[in-house]
Homo-oligomer: A and B are copies of this chain.
Amino acid sequence: MQLIDGKKISQQLKEEIAAQVETMIAAGRRRPHLAAVLVGHDGGSETYVANKVKACEACGFTSTLIRREADVTEDELLSIVHSLNNDPEVDGFIVQLPLPKHISEQKVIEAIDYRKDVDGFHPINVGRQSIGLPCFHSATPAGILELLARYEIPTKGKHCVVLGRSNIVGKPVATLMMQKGYPGNATVTVCHSATPNIKEICRSADIIIAALGQPGFVTADMVKDGATIIDVGTTRVPDASKKSGFRLCGDVDFENVAPKCAYITPVPGGVGPMTIASLMKNTLLAADGNLFND
C-alpha cells in the first residue's frame, strides 16, 4: 500500500508555481493577485480562507481578503463581486461558500466574471469543462486528477466509481475521468443516495472517489484488493481530545481499507491541500490571461 501524499505534492505544485511567478516578475509583469471574499465567521470557512491566503504567500501571489459580517445584504455582496470583476489589478477571486441563507449562492456565482472564476463554479466553466474546452477546472476534481498523474496511477479502461453527485466534486470529477487523455479514459460509474447496491458496485472498482460527506462510509468489504482510493470527505467530528474540539473525518474507514489498497489518500493531508494548490494554479492561469483566447 502506498500513501498518496497530497501535502507533499501540493507543496511541489506551489514551488513550481512560485518559480513561474519569478519568471513573470523577471519579464516585468506584476504578481498574480487572488482576492477572497469571506462572509461571517464559519469555522471551516475561516480555516479554508486562511489556508488560501497562506498558499498565495507560498506562491508569490498578492492576496486580498475582503470580509463582511453575516448580515451583509445580497446586493452589497453582488456589488463587491462587480467591483472585483472590473478591477484590472485582480486576476481571480473566490467567494467562500457556504453563504448565509438570505443570499443566493447561485446568483453570486453567476455574477462572477467567468474569466476570474478561479473556483470553476460558473456555468460557463462547468459547461466548457464538460465539453472539453480550456477553462478553469473546479479545484477539487483538478486536484484529484493531479494526484493520479503525479503517482502515475493507470486510469485508461479502469473502472472508476464516484460516490456522490455534487456540483463541485461528484459530477465534474466524473466528467474529467471519462474524457479522453490521461488521467481519464476511465469507465465511470456515479453512485449516490438513490443507488441501492453501492457496496457491490464499489467491489468492482479499480478507483473509488468518495465524496459523500459520510464519515467511514467506505468499509474494507467494499474494496477490491489493489484498488486506488481517493477520499474527498472532510467532515468535522467532535473530539474532546483535540485542541480544536474536533477532528477531520474522511468518507473512508482508513484503518481497515488501507491495507487492501494499492494507493490511498489520507484525511487530512490528501485531497484537501490539492484543492488549494489547484486554486493557485487557476490563479496563475488567470494572471497569464491566455486561457480563453483560443
Contacts and interface: CB of A to CB of B under 8 A. Distances in A.
Nearest to A194: B185
Contacts of A179: 165
Interface residues of A, number: 36
Q: Which 9 A-B pairs have the closest CB atoms?
A: A127-B127, A123-B127, A126-B127, A189-B189, A185-B194, A187-B195, A157-B196, A123-B128, A157-B194
A119 B186 CA distance: 28
The interface residues of chain A, by DSSP majority, are classed as mixed
Contact of A126 (B131, B156, B189, B201): B131
Given A124-B124, A165-B179, A130 B194 contact: no
Contact of A167 (B122, B126, B130, B174): B130
11 contacts: A106-B131, A122-B127, A127-B128, A130-B172, A130-B175, A157-B194, A157-B196, A165-B178, A178-B192, A185-B192, A187-B201
A13 interface: no
Interface of A: 106, 122-128, 130-133, 156-157, 165, 167, 171-172, 174-175, 178-180, 185-192, 194-197, 201
Contacts of A123: 123-124, 127-128, 131, 133
Contacts of A175: 130, 171
A232 to B, nearest CB: 17
Contacts of A122: 127
A270 B106 CA distance: 37
A157 B171 CA distance: 17
Contact of A130 (B127, B132, B192, B201): B127
A122 B190 CA distance: 25
A9 B125 CA distance: 35
Contacts of A180: 194
A131 B157 CA distance: 27
A132 B167 contact: yes
Contacts of A126: 126-128, 130-131
